[in-house]
Amino acid sequence: MHRLTIDNPDNGTFRLSFTNPSTLKRKSSDELKADMSGNQISAGIRTYFNSVGLNTVVTKKTFNAAGEETEVSEEITQAVYEIRLDRLVSSESTAAI
């Protein structure tokens, strides 16, 4: 599982950049907004993960300043996206050294 944490999420945009471990080629995500849903983040990163034969499931949790989970938009100070892959990337790794 990977975790993407965004403090003070707003409607700003960003891209994630990934490196294919087999080819070392880089691929960027679609343009993502800091306040997207888990499904929208999943759709934005799908191109890379599909290119290495993986599927993703992304869930989003939002928290207030006290660290309590909330869905009240005016209270949200942090968004945490948990990115789950259906399996590990099949390629060379430091485990093989």
The domain total for the chain is 1
In this predicted structure, what is the pLDDT of residue 23?
83
Q: Whole-model pTM?
A: 0.80
- Determine contact, residues 69/58, Cβ cutoff 8 Å: no
Which of 34-38, 42-46, 57-61, 88-92 is the least confident region?
88-92
User: What pLDDT digit, counting tens, does each position of 23-55 carry?
Assistant: 888 889 999 999 999 999 999 998 888 887 888
Q: What is the pLDDT of residue 24?
A: 86
- pLDDT over 50 (residue 96): no
Answer for the pair 62, 71: CB distance below 8 angstroms, yes or no. yes
pLDDT at 62: 97
62 found inside a domain: yes
Domain range for 79 is 2-89
The answer to whether residue 97 is domain-embedded is: no
Q: Residue 16's Cα: distance from chain center in Å?
A: 8
Residue 96 is assigned to a structural domain of this protein: no
